[in-house]
Homo-oligomer: A and B are copies of this chain.
Amino acid sequence: MTTTMAHPDVNSRCAQAALAAPAWAATSRPDRAAALRAIAAGLNRSAAMIINAADTETKLGQPRLRSELTRTTYQLTMFADLLLDGSYLRTVIEHPDPDAPVSPRPDLRRTMIPVGPVAVFSASNFPFAFSVAGTDTAAALAAGCPVIVKAHPGHPTTSELVADIVTQALRDSGAPDGTFALVDGFDAGPALMTHPAIRAAAFTGSVRGGRALFDLAVNRPDPIPFYGELGSLNSLVVTAAAAAARGPKIAADLAASVLLGGGQFCTKPGLILLPSTSAGRRLRDDLADQFTRAAPVHMLTPQVRHGFENGCAALQLDPGIAVLATGQAATGAATPVLFGANADQLPDVALDECFGPTAVVADYSDNDSLLTATTRLPGALTAAVHAEPDDHVLLAGLVPALAGKVGRLVFNQYPTGVTVSPAMHHGGPYPASTAAAYTSVGAAAVERFLRPVTFQNAPQGILPVELRD
């Protein structure tokens, strides 16, 4: 079993969070909503400063970062609205029933309470939306949990600037000291995961890093939930009919999706299953053309670039994989690469996510070959299918097979671009997520930081307000 790993900064932050937990849990939902809106307002007031800092640190560009900040403040206000609405508590009130089936029923009232202090591990690729004031922090604060964020080393200045804004907004809103803290350094991660005060964790990042933290979480004397979004090989299938009907359009849009943000999205299509028809081969050639013209990518961090180049090297070394196209090169930047393989003999290495501007195109000889290939796909956040109305027989087999592997199934569109809305599910079977029943995007993300409690025969005065008559 895991024992606590000493870390003075983490220890003091965790102690403060544990002290703050009951007071923050006891704040009214309108007060927590106001605090979330104050954070959003603080981010908006400092938008120029934090966007500049993030652009310097991540090279993602001002337009993308401006839009990501909009998304981030939207997420905060969405959780504020959720708090005022209250339906996320899924309350059930049952009055006593002496004639209930089986046995007389007492007065039972169920609601949700916060789990306690939450550790949030920031992602490299979303310096706002999945970082210090991102969706995990917003959801946990909304739930009533103190948050300790582990800063991502890829954007330390942005992290500190945003943390200052969050801290000030919470203080102005009357939140107890210790409701929020930022820690940094590699050792802070294991120290957080093994600290007794931490009651849950949320993570977005690599399979290797996420699994190491997950292992610490579940091997504690008291295991805690670890909501990790680790890695995703997003498959995209094009049927023979779709390739024939709109191959050139698919090639252009698909290349744009793979290369969007330098391929540094967890929903990037990584494995493209194309038919071995003449239209399929043309589509593959069109994709290769797009990659040949693709600009070099200044990746998020040297580590991310290193990981990408290692991944490409592993693909290139495999005898079952060929390079179909190589994009433009520049000093210090990553070169986009498109790989090719045969779906009937797909090498294992083509089933691993390679984070960055690359994808593997795998040709399938017929629909049976396609269905066989899908059985080998790992768990993923998404899969996508481009099909025509005449494909209904194929889809009857393909759709359940793919749905069994993913959290979101996309038709005739592309998986990049994750809408923040109640119908979104951003999660999937391992390794996409360590908890496939939960989403890290959208209003349902709050459920990760709550647990039910039933009050039996309780006096009205002590009941949470949502359970009173």
* Cα of A92 to Cα of B106 in the assembled complex, Å: 33
A63 at interface by CB-CB < 8 Å: no
Q: Is there an interface contact between B223 and A218, defined as CB atoms closer than 8 Å? A: yes
With A403-B113, A447-B437, A462-B395 as known contacts, state yes or no: A408 contacts B454, CB within 8 Å: yes
Binds B, one of A38-46, A231-239, A410-418: A410-418
**Interface residues as binary, A351-364 with B (CB distance below 8 Å gives 1, 0 otherwise):** 00000000000000
A282 at interface by CB-CB < 8 Å: no
Q: Which residues of B contact A404 (CB under 8 A)?
A: 22, 113, 116
Copies in the complex: 2
Give chain A interface residues in 413-433, CB to chain B under 8 Å: 413, 417, 419-425, 427, 429-431
Q: Is there an interface contact between A453 and B67, defined as CB atoms closer than 8 Å? A: no
* Cα of A215 to Cα of B22 in the assembled complex, Å: 31
Q: Is there an interface contact between A451 and B437, defined as CB atoms closer than 8 Å? A: yes
Q: Which residues of B contact A67 (CB under 8 A)?
A: 102-103
Q: Tell me, rounded to whole Å, the shortest Cβ–Cβ distance linking A190 to chain B.
A: 17
Binds B, one of A93-101, A158-166, A173-181, A247-255: A93-101
Q: Is there an interface contact between B223 and A423, defined as CB atoms closer than 8 Å? A: no
Q: Tell me, rounded to whole Å, the shortest Cβ–Cβ distance linking A333 to chain B.
A: 27
* Cα of A437 to Cα of B427 in the assembled complex, Å: 18
Interface residues of chain A, those whose CB is within 8 Å of chain B, are 22, 25-26, 67, 70-71, 74, 92-94, 100-103, 105-106, 108-110, 113, 115-116, 214-215, 218-219, 222-223, 225, 379, 389, 392, 395-396, 399-401, 403-404, 406-413, 417, 419-425, 427, 429-431, 434-437, 439, 444, 447, 450-459, 461-462
Q: Tell me, rounded to whole Å, the shortest Cβ–Cβ distance linking A360 to chain B.
A: 22
The residue on B at minimum CB distance from A25 is B400
The residue on B at minimum CB distance from A23 is B400
Q: Is there an interface contact between B458 and A419, defined as CB atoms closer than 8 Å? A: no
Q: Which residues of B contact A223 (CB under 8 A)?
A: 214, 218, 430, 434
The secondary structure that dominates the A interface is mixed
With A102-B74, A115-B436, A430-B223 as known contacts, state yes or no: A407 contacts B452, CB within 8 Å: yes
* Cα of A401 to Cα of B71 in the assembled complex, Å: 37
* Cα of A404 to Cα of B436 in the assembled complex, Å: 26
Q: Which residues of B contact A113 (CB under 8 A)?
A: 403-404
Q: Tell me, rounded to whole Å, the shortest Cβ–Cβ distance linking A378 to chain B.
A: 9
Q: Is there an interface contact between B427 and A459, defined as CB atoms closer than 8 Å? A: no
Q: Tell me, rounded to whole Å, the shortest Cβ–Cβ distance linking A466 to chain B.
A: 13
What 9 A-B pairs are tightest by C-beta distance, nearest first? A108-B423, A218-B218, A92-B423, A425-B454, A94-B423, A425-B452, A410-B456, A408-B454, A222-B430
Q: Is there an interface contact between A419 and B100, defined as CB atoms closer than 8 Å? A: yes
* Cα of A22 to Cα of B437 in the assembled complex, Å: 19
With A452-B425, A459-B389 as known contacts, state yes or no: A435 contacts B225, CB within 8 Å: yes
| Residue of A379, A424, A434, A453 with most chain B CB atoms under a 10 A cut-off | A453
* Cα of A75 to Cα of B115 in the assembled complex, Å: 29
* Cα of A347 to Cα of B218 in the assembled complex, Å: 27
* Cα of A243 to Cα of B452 in the assembled complex, Å: 30
* Cα of A214 to Cα of B1 in the assembled complex, Å: 13
Q: Which residues of B contact A409 (CB under 8 A)?
A: 453-456, 458
With A92-B422, A218-B223, A427-B452 as known contacts, state yes or no: A411 contacts B74, CB within 8 Å: no
With A214-B223, A223-B214 as known contacts, state yes or no: A102 contacts B70, CB within 8 Å: yes
The residue on B at minimum CB distance from A399 is B462
- Which of B108, B225, B455, B461 contacts A392 (CB under 8 A)? B461
- Which of B109, B411, B425, B451 contacts A459 (CB under 8 A)? B411
With A102-B420, A214-B223, A423-B92 as known contacts, state yes or no: A452 contacts B434, CB within 8 Å: no
Q: Which residues of B contact A103 (CB under 8 A)?
A: 67, 71, 417, 419
* Cα of A70 to Cα of B437 in the assembled complex, Å: 32
Q: Which residues of B contact A429 (CB under 8 A)?
A: 222, 451
Q: Is there an interface contact between B106 and A419, defined as CB atoms closer than 8 Å? A: yes
| Residue of A110, A422, A423, A435 with most chain B CB atoms under a 10 A cut-off | A423
Q: Is there an interface contact between B456 and A413, defined as CB atoms closer than 8 Å? A: yes
- Which of B102, B395, B453 contacts A407 (CB under 8 A)? B453
